[in-house]
Amino acid sequence: MDVRTKEAVRYLGYGNHAIDGRTLALIASSFQELETVAGRRVIYRIFDVSVESEDSLIIGTLKIKSKNLGRNLKSCDKAFLLGATLGVGVDTLLRRYTLTDMARVVILQACAAAMLEEYLDNCQEKLRHEQEQDGYHLRPRFSPGYGDFSITHQEEILRMLDAPKQIGLSLTDGNMLIPTKSVTAIIGLSRLNIPCHIQGCEACEKYDCSYRRKQK
């Protein structure tokens, strides 16, 4: 089972339970269908980081109060602000199946989430190689909604990236990203190569979540 299939299974909430062959076949066909409509796009910019206290920092013009993000960006003097999306085609596909096959929608939602994570991992690996040439090391990406990093910061992140114009990524009044299979994130840059591999589920304190990634 490849990595993104494992991630899709996790998003489906199987946990440690075995998954049947029919569901695996649906996951495989869902990935194939998503590939025909996904329009992956990403935008990122580097900003200076200024730490005012253990729970207060400034990235460019973005003022944030978050102990969790502060720990993630420890020793960082710069950071990427990033926005990425799978595009409107995925939303259109999901809406179409909503009218005819809700079971398929559930599978597609999980596969789209796994596809987005895979795309972000690939983008971050590319950035890591580029920044190593300048003596910088990347921290794991950290998104609004992780820990005490408020989701309300997404509005200013999109504005600082000019994301609506550049990649068609915008926000509803309820701070939900449009297209829905999209993400914003911060990736710290440090001159120090300090071990720091906590990300995603590992950074979250909701230990009873059924979607939690299994710890190694």
Q: Cα separation of 1 and 70, whole Å?
A: 36
**Mind listing the pLDDT tens digit for each residue in 81-98?**
999 999 999 999 999 999
Least confident range from 23-27, 102-106, 112-116, 209-213: namely 209-213
**Mind listing the pLDDT tens digit for each residue in 21-55?**
999 999 999 999 999 999 999 999 999 999 888 88
Does 204 score more than 70 pLDDT?
A: no
Decide if 89 contacts 181 (C-beta within 8 A).
no
Does 144 score more than 80 pLDDT?
A: yes
Least confident range from 56-60, 174-178, 199-203: namely 199-203
Does 201 score more than 60 pLDDT?
A: no
CA-to-CA separations, 113 to 48, 180, 193, in angstroms, rounded: 30, 10, 30
Q: Cα separation of 190 and 137, whole Å?
A: 5
Model confidence, pTM: 0.87
Can you give the pLDDT at residue 197?
Answer: 45
DSSP strand E in the chain: where? 41-53, 56-59, 62-65, 76-85, 137-138, 170-171, 177-178, 182-190
With cut-offs at 50, 70 and 90, classify the pLDDT of residue 196: low
% of the chain at pLDDT higher than 70: 89
Q: Cα separation of 27 and 111, whole Å?
A: 7
